[in-house]
């Protein structure tokens, strides 16, 4: 615009009303803090009934259980935030788990990192296929990934047949991964926590990360703002696939017996964890940290039923109940939020 930068004399920018800012920021955090509160209360109640729940061994068990889900939830968060969904991750996990760990018996002395790399590559390939169909083919992601959920599982069953990878075929260096701890905390949990933190930081602080939120919040406006919508969505699916591939290898290290049913039904558990963790199902808001806490909560519930001796049948019922609760809460909170913000606007205008 005009090149002459005249002297600025106008008053400093209006000091944003401190009370109102606190309100917005509090609301921003409320979903994560809410889920954290639920987790604390749940742990407290369970421990009161059965103190064994807080045994070091059980905590380690819960944390290890969480790692696979947290990894999947990170990828799913990136996808859901952009107003998409990836339902293929359970199948990708299964395929990756079998194909990568079979290498231990096929290629003698193959280094463990190479197996992880193979798992990641398998997942990446699946994610790229999903991403291409969604971003280039403009097919709704619900349809695409529902289809690949079955296709990839089908391929898995074709390859695996009645076989399975058994624990004896896995080298110790691999089989012991879930057991290694630092000061009582599983190594794996630390690594995954770091990965999730990195992912959350990326989503929060980088342009391409914020653009995923923008796409999910208003796809048309995102296009008008010059955001490469297709490219961003493609990347989200590719990352989600790659993380699911990685999670497959972890899953194998944890369970050590891998047949063609590995990871069946995980997609819905992960979507539940993500939504319970405060990611809006129609995109635009939520964090990877929240999603990881959601995964932790689901793992804790699973373990609690075990410890309390309740039939595992309740596991899924409770997961479903939580999902319903989370979505209802989400709806109520956003309606309240809008109402509160409106009131603020009108007060200010008046």
Residues interacting with another protein, by CB under 8 A?
Answer: 1-14, 16-17, 20-21, 24-25, 28, 205-207, 210-211, 213-214, 216-218, 220-222, 224-227, 280, 283-285, 334, 337-342, 344-346, 348-349
- Closer residue to another protein, CB minimum distance, 60 or 82: 82
Closest CB 327 distance from another protein, rounded Å? 16
Q: Which residues of 49-75 are buried (b: 16+ CB within 10 A; e: fewer)?
A: eeeebeeeebbbbbbbbbbbbbbbbbb
- Closer residue to another protein, CB minimum distance, 329 or 344: 344
Q: Which residue has the tokens 């057991």?
A: 179
Closest CB 22 distance from another protein, rounded Å? 10
Distance of CA 28 to the CA centre of its chain: 19
- Closer residue to another protein, CB minimum distance, 216 or 241: 216
Closest CB 165 distance from another protein, rounded Å? 41
**Three-state helix/strand/coil letters over 16-32:** CCHHHHHHHHHHHHHHH
Alpha carbons 175 and 172: distance in angstroms, whole number:
5
User: For the chain, how far is it from start to end, CA to CA, in angstroms?
Assistant: 33
- Closer residue to another protein, CB minimum distance, 282 or 321: 282
Closest CB 20 distance from another protein, rounded Å? 6
Closest CB 326 distance from another protein, rounded Å? 17
H helix intervals, 161-278: 172-175, 187-205, 207-217, 219-224, 229-255, 266-276
- Closer residue to another protein, CB minimum distance, 167 or 338: 338
Closest CB 249 distance from another protein, rounded Å? 30
- Closer residue to another protein, CB minimum distance, 172 or 346: 346
- Closer residue to another protein, CB minimum distance, 171 or 228: 228
- Closer residue to another protein, CB minimum distance, 5 or 311: 5
Closest CB 1 distance from another protein, rounded Å? 4
- CB distance 227 to 218 below 8 Å: no
- CB distance 273 to 298 below 8 Å: yes
Burial class (CB in 10 A: 0-12, 13-18, 19+), 338: exposed
- CB distance 71 to 273 below 8 Å: no
Q: How far is CA 301 from CA 13, 73, 298, 305, 319, in A?
A: 49, 17, 5, 6, 8
Helix (H) or strand (E) holding 185: strand 185-186
Both structure tokens of 307? 């410890």
Closest CB 217 distance from another protein, rounded Å? 4
């Amino acid at each position: 615009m005009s090149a002459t930068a005249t002297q600025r004399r106008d008053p400093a920018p209006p000091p944003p009303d401190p009370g109102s800012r606190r309100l917005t920021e509090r609301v921003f955090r409320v979903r994560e803090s809410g889920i954290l509160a639920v987790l604390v209360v749940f742990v407290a109640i369970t421990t009161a009934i059965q103190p064994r729940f807080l045994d070091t061994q059980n905590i380690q068990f819960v944390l290890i259980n969480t790692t696979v889900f947290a990894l999947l939830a990170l990828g799913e968060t990136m996808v859901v935030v952009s107003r998409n969904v990836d339902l293929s991750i359970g199948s990708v996990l299964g395929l990756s788990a079998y194909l990568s760990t079979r290498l231990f018996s096929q290629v003698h002395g193959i280094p463990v990192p190479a197996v992880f790399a193979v798992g990641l590559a398998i997942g990446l390939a699946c994610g790229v296929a999903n991403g291409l169909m969604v971003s280039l083919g403009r097919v709704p992601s619900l349809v695409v990934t529902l289809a690949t959920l079955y296709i990839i599982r089908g391929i898995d069953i074709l390859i695996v047949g009645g076989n399975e990878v058994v624990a004896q075929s896995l080298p110790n260096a691999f089989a012991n991964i879930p057991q290694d701890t630092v000061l009582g905390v599983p190594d794996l949990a630390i690594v995954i926590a770091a990965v999730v933190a990195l992912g959350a930081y990326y989503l929060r602080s980088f342009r391409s990360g914020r653009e995923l939120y923008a796409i999910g919040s208003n796809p048309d406006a995102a296009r008008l703002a010059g955001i490469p919508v297709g490219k961003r969505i493609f990347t989200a699916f590719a990352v989600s696939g790659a993380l699911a591939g990685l999670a497959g290898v972890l899953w194998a290290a944890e369970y050590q017996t891998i047949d063609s049913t590995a990871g069946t039904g995980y997609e819905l558990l992960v979507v539940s964890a993500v939504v319970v963790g405060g990611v809006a199902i129609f995109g635009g808001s939520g964090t990877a940290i929240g999603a990881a806490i959601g995964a932790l909560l689901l793992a804790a519930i699973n373990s609690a039923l075990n410890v309390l001796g309740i039939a595992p049948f309740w596991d899924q019922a409770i997961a479903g109940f939580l999902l319903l609760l989370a979505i209802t809460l989400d709806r109520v909170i956003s309606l309240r939020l809008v109402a509160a913000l409106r009131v603020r606007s009108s007060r200010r205008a008046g």
